[in-house]
């Protein structure tokens, strides 16, 4: 086998395809966020963001924070309804009420 300079003939032959697919991804419409802070949700899986099992104490929770695919959920407690953090979960493991 003779060493060739990178990117080599095979990769060069695929360059138009790579550019086309890259542009499709870059220019595809961005999906609107499904959830917003303050939304009332319920968990679909009782597993936190790190994979640890959770115990569900309430029927519904409120989104306190969203960071990529991670959401922090809380529940109002006390006479003033101050939000108490319950868990951080994957955004795919919750459902909007």
pLDDT at 56 over 90: yes
Give phi and psi for 77, each to the nearest 5. -130, 155
Per-residue confidence band for 50, with pLDDT thresholds at 50, 70 and 90? very high
Tell me whether strands 61-67 and 82-90 are parallel, antiparallel or unpaired.
unpaired
What residues does 74 pair with on adjacent strands? Answer: 62, 85
Per-residue confidence band for 5, with pLDDT thresholds at 50, 70 and 90? confident
What is each CA distance from 66 to 8, 13, 31, 69, 81, in whole angstroms?
Answer: 43, 42, 15, 7, 21
pLDDT at 67 over 90: yes
pLDDT, residue 1, reads 58
pLDDT, residue 83, reads 93
Three-class DSSP category at 21 = helix
Q: How far is 51 from 53, CA to CA, in rounded Å?
A: 6
pLDDT, residue 7, reads 75
């Amino acid at each position: 086998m003779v060493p060739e300079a990178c990117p080599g003939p095979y990769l060069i032959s695929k360059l138009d395809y790579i550019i086309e697919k890259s542009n499709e991804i870059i220019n595809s419409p961005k999906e609107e966020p499904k959830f917003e802070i303050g939304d009332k949700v319920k968990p679909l899986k009782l597993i936190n963001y790190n994979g640890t099992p959770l115990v569900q104490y309430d029927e519904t929770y409120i989104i306190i924070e969203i960071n990529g695919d991670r959401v922090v959920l809380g529940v109002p407690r006390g006479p003033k309804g101050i939000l108490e953090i319950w868990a951080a979960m994957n955004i795919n493991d919750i459902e909007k009420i």
